[in-house]
Every structure is written in C-alpha cells, then in structure tokens.
Amino acid sequence: MLIATFGIFGMRDVLQIGVFLIALIVLTPLLGSFMAKALNGERNFLTPIFGGLERSFYRICRIDPEQEMDWKEYLLAVIAFSLVGLVVLWLLQVTQAYLPLNPQHLPNVSWDLAFNTAVSFMTNTNWQSYAGETTLSYFVQMAGLTVHNFVSAAAGMAVLLALVRGITRKSKEGLGNFWADLVRMTLYVLLPLSVILTLVLVGQGTVQTLSGYAHATTLEGQKQVIAVGPAASQIAIKQLGTNGGGFFNANSAHPFENPTPLTNFLELLSIILIASASVYMYGKMVGSTREGWVIWGVMLSVFCIMLTFSLYSEYSFHPPYVTAPSMEGKETRFGNTNSILWEVTTTVTSNGSVNSMHDSLTPLSGMVGIVDMMFGEVIFGGIGSGLASMLLFVLLTVFIAGLMVGRTPEYLGKKIEAYEVKMSVIGVLAPGAAILIFTAIASITKVGLSSLGNNGPHGLSEILYAFTSGAANNGSAFAGLNANTVFYNVTLGIDMLIGRFVPIAAYLSVAGSLAKKKAVPPSAGTFPTDSTLFGVLLVGVIIIVAALTFFPVLALGPIVEHFLMLAGKTF
C-alpha cells in the first residue's frame, strides 16, 4: 500500500490550488452570464464593437441568423462544416512545401499524418502525432490549426446551444441556426478572450514571431538551433478552446510557450474557464441557476476527488524511488502540485495541453488522467461538448432516479422516453466502445506493439491512453508511444471521429425530440434535479459507468503497474 509522506505537501501547495479554484468560482458566473446573453443573440457590451462585423458576415455568407434549423438540418450543417474544414486542412498539410510562410522549408506532410492531424484539429482533439516546430510550417499552424482551434471550439458550443434549446423549447421543431451560433461564439467569446490572453502571454515572454529558427552559440561554443514562431496567439486559443495542441512539441512545459508562473496560472485557468462558465450559462438559459450550479458542483466534486487521488499518489513514497514526490518528467519551474493540477485540469476538460510529461507520473496518477478522459469528458469537458455529454448523463440518471420515485422520468418538465434513452446511451457509450476495441486491436497486433516505448503494463497504459485521449477528444499523450505510423494515424483518426460525431448526433437527436415535447409542470412528486441528492447520484452514475466499462483493462494497465512498483519493479 501507499506509504504517505505528506510532509512535503504544504501550505504553499494548498494556496496554489486554492487561488486557482477561487479564481474559477469568481469568473464562472461573470463569463457565464455574459455568454448567456451574447450567445442568445442579445445585445451586450461588445455589440457596438462586433455587431457590425457579425451582420456583415451574415450578409456575405447569405445567412439568415433567424432561420431555424430542425435537428437534422443542424446536424447536417455541423457535419458539412467539419468535413470541409477537414479536407482543407489536409490539403494545406500535404502541400505546405509549395505554400508561403515556410521559412524552415519543411517538406509536405505524409497523407496519414496529415489525415490524423486534420481530424485531430477539426474534432477539437489536438492529438499530435508530430512535433509541431519541426513538421508544420507557420502557414499551416496559423491558417490551418489556429483557425480550427477557434471554429472547432465554436462548433462544440453550437451543438450545446442546440441541445439547451431542445430542453427549453416546448412543442417546437427548430433548434436555432448553426451558422449564427458559430459566428457568435467565435466573435463574442473566443476572439476577445484570446486577444487578451495573447497580449498578456507576449508581455510575459511567450514567443510571437514570423521569423525562422534562431541560431545561437552556447557558452561551450556549441551551435544551437532554437525554434521560435507565432506561438503566443496559438497558445491562447489552444488553452481557451480546450484544444491543447502545442506550438512546440513540449507543449506548455516549453519555456517559450509557458515562461512564467503567471503564464502558467493563466494558461491553466483558460483551460477550464469557458467550459465552467458554460455550466452557469446553462442554468441561466433554463431559467434556474440552481440547476446549473448543481451540475457545476458535480463537476467540481469529481475534479477534486481525482485531484486528491493524483496528488496523494504523487506525494507518497514509493519503494523504487529514493525521494517522494518524484520530479521525473516535471518542470522544476512549476513543481509537482502545479503539474498535477494541470494534469487533472487538462484531462477532465478535453484540452490535452500538458506542462509535465504524463508518461512519468506514478501509475495511479497516470491512471487518474486516463480515467478523467474515460468519464467521457463530462467533468467540465470540451467547449460545449463537455456539458452536452454531461446532460446525456443527466438524462440517464434522471431516468433511473425517476423510476425510483415512482414516476415515469422527466427532466426540466420533459418526459424522458425510449428515444431519449436510446440516443443518450449511444452518445455516452460509443466513445467507450471505440477505446476498448482499438486498444484491444493495438495490444495484440504487431503494428500496434511496434510503436511501444515501454513494455509490461506501462506499454498497455500507453496504448490505452492514446485511444482514450482520441475518443475523448482530449489530445494529451502519454508519450512513450510513437504514434506517427500509418496504423496509429488512421486508427486514432477514426477513434477521434467516433468520439466527436457520434455524441454530437446523439445531442442533436435528443434535442430534436425534446423540443417537440410539451413540458410537465413540476409538483411535489417530481424528482428535483437541483438538489444535492441528485448531484450525489449523478457523481455515482458517472463514476460507476466509467468504472464498470474500464475496470478490467485498467487492472491490467496502471493498477497492476502500481502493485508492481510497490514490489520494487518499474517499467
């Protein structure tokens, strides 16, 4: 068992976590109520600045923002938009050598890597099978990746808005207009926040330049090539949009991406801020902030459980290591607590940026990262999609709990019937199915195993981490696994597509079905979903669904590795 030596975990660490949580709690309702207004198309303080731009967008693209789409039209718009983005990004990569802004003269990207990367950025995953600074030109990074960082996040928010409309509207067909939702999210939320964050990052020393690699001579007289580029602008949106794809391979552990404690704090906060605020926004939109806060409380509770577990494992003394906590794979600039806080934050949201190497975490701490993603990114989760998936869990919980109080189940007045149950389970379980199937294939085939950097249970964890990260649209990696092979590029690509679009189809079909229903007014016999009791039940359902689906494979990966480490054997 673990031998706790919590002495090293002191007041300073508590303070770091405390400040982060307080900042989050304060900013959530502020940004949330602004989003509720702006995304509803209401007038807000940014309208004088962006209103004209918004309207001219609609004019140029011939969009009527008032034109309602039913769920099928909405879904079609999402898919069409994503597909076009995918093809364009793929083309940009395989032709980057002929395109401008390529001072390093990087060659064209291979078809499979380009496919993987295009899917990855289009699905808001930002899994990177490549090292950014040595693979992609500035043009691809800026015109391709950064654009997707914005629009994939905005598309995620759009489907959430459609789902919320499905819940709140009564006896209607329409779920809003996808194009208007996309434009509003980008213009009023993502763009202003990114501009602010970019400026602060640049002020703190994050690199932002269009010139090529810098060449330097070290004190020993060695020649050194230092990769630079337009990083700050991409980093801002990579954090805010739960994208996570670093400009540099080392991601936010790299001093040019994340130079100071302040940038670390801001980048960390940006990972979770919009996802957190959208829960408050949800409460506003359904007419009861309590409903929102209960869901938020559920997310925070699971977040804290996972954080505590991970910290405990990291700070415990484990026989093979001389010291606890282990500093392997961590930035001395940030220390252990900040690395673990980042690890948990980036895996519960579907961000995936890292400021330490997850491959080097203790087995159980690494498992926390995997399990966070296995929850289906419902703990804050990706922009929009996180809360939308959480709402599917809410529907399933309501279904079971509603039966237990003796009424056919309803949520916010809408009856939950066979169709909603069917679509919700498909949305919740499809990513899990993809994880299991792909991990199983990779763990017994030559093509799968040849990429492994480690053997034993840690190798299985690496494969599991990769496919879990893909299906959860997270994008963080356990490293150690050489994912830039045709096999992994293609399977992970499909994995990411399943993880993105099956749930989206589920949200929208559920939204379509709910919108058509009448609302049942609440009574004393109605099961209240804004109560602590419901929150506790929801936490239970989320943990049990993930645990039951993945316990066997986790037992053979991180859990057995943990026991072996206690016995003095590491991998």
Partner 1 sequence: MDKKSDYRLASTFDRKIVVQALVDSVKKLNPKTLVRNPVMFVVEVVALISTYIVIREIAIGRESLFNIQITLWLWITVLFANFAEAIAEGRGKAQAEALRKARSETTARRIEDGKETKVNALDLKKGDIVVCEAGDVIPVDGVVIEGIASVDESAITGESAPVIRESGEERSAVTGGTRVLSDRIVVRVTAEPGGTFMDKIIGLVEGAKRQKTPNEIALTILLSALTIVFLLAVSTFPAFMMYSGKASGISVRPYITLPILASLLVCLIPTTIGGLLSAIGISGMDRLIRKNVIATSGRAAEAAGDVDVLLLDKTGTITLGNRMASDFVPAPGIPVERLADAAQLSSVADETPEGRSIVVLAKEKYGMRAKKVRDVGATFIPFSAQTKMSGVEIPATDGLGPRSIRKGSGEAIKKYVTELGKNFPQSVQKNLEEIARAGSTPLVVVENGDVLGIVQLKDIVKGGIKERFAQLRKMGIKTVMITGDNALTAAAIAAEAGVDDFIAEAKPEDKLGRIRAEQASGHLVGMIGDGTNDAPALAQADVGIAMNSGTQAAREAGNMVDLDSNPTKLIEVVETGKKLLMTRGALTTFSIANDVSKYFAIIPAMTAALYAFGKPVGPLAALNIMHLGSPQSAILSAVIFNAIIIILLVPLALKGVKYRPVGASAVLRRNLLIYGLGGLVAPFIGIKLIDMLINALKIV
Interface residues with partner 1 (CB under 8 A)?
A: 396, 399-408, 413, 416-418, 420-422, 425-426, 429, 432-433, 436-437, 439-441, 443-444, 449, 455-457, 459-460, 518-521, 523-528, 531, 533, 537, 540, 544, 547-553, 555-557, 559-560, 563-564, 566-567, 569
How would you class 140 by CB atoms within 10 Å of its CB: exposed for 0-12, middle for 13-18, buried for 19 or more?
A: buried
In this complex, which beta carbon is closest to partner 1, that of residue 13 or of residue 561?
A: 561
β-pair partners for 415? 410
CB of 285 to partner 1, least distance (A): 20
**Span between the terminal Cα atoms of the chain, in Å:** 18
Q: Which two tokens stand for residue 385?
A: 């999609």
CB of 463 to partner 1, least distance (A): 9
CB of 551 to partner 1, least distance (A): 5
In this complex, which beta carbon is closest to partner 1, that of residue 3 or of residue 84?
A: 3
φ, ψ at 553 (rounded to 5°): -75, -35
Given a contact cutoff of 8 angstroms between Cβ atoms, the answer to whether 389 and 428 are in contact is: yes
CB of 480 to partner 1, least distance (A): 15
Kindly give, in sequence order, each residue whose CB lies less than 8 Å from that of residue 176, ignoring residues fewer than 6 positions away.
68, 69, 74, 161, 162, 165
Residue of 187, 113, 116 whose CA lies nearest to 150: 187
User: CB 529: neighbour CB atoms within 10 A?
Assistant: 24
CB of 555 to partner 1, least distance (A): 5
Q: Which two tokens stand for residue 57?
A: 């967008």
In this complex, which beta carbon is closest to partner 1, that of residue 17 or of residue 564?
A: 564
In this complex, which beta carbon is closest to partner 1, that of residue 205 or of residue 413?
A: 413
In this complex, which beta carbon is closest to partner 1, that of residue 131 or of residue 426?
A: 426
CB of 74 to partner 1, least distance (A): 24
In this complex, which beta carbon is closest to partner 1, that of residue 199 or of residue 519?
A: 519
**Strand (E) positions, 221-305?**
223-226
In this complex, which beta carbon is closest to partner 1, that of residue 88 or of residue 421?
A: 421
Q: Which amino acid is at 569?
A: K
In this complex, which beta carbon is closest to partner 1, that of residue 51 or of residue 528?
A: 528
CB of 388 to partner 1, least distance (A): 18
CB of 363 to partner 1, least distance (A): 11
Instruction: Give Cα 264 distance to the centre of its chain.
Output: 18
φ, ψ at 391 (rounded to 5°): -65, -30
φ, ψ at 409 (rounded to 5°): -65, 150
In this complex, which beta carbon is closest to partner 1, that of residue 65 or of residue 528?
A: 528
CB of 558 to partner 1, least distance (A): 12
For 286-362, where are the alpha helices, taking DSSP H only?
289-315, 335-348
How would you class 176 by CB atoms within 10 Å of its CB: exposed for 0-12, middle for 13-18, buried for 19 or more?
A: buried
In this complex, which beta carbon is closest to partner 1, that of residue 3 or of residue 195?
A: 3
Q: Which two tokens stand for residue 313?
A: 């494992």
Strands 316-317 and 410-411: unpaired
3-state SS class at 385: helix
CB of 393 to partner 1, least distance (A): 13
The Cα 160–Cα 175 span in angstroms is 10
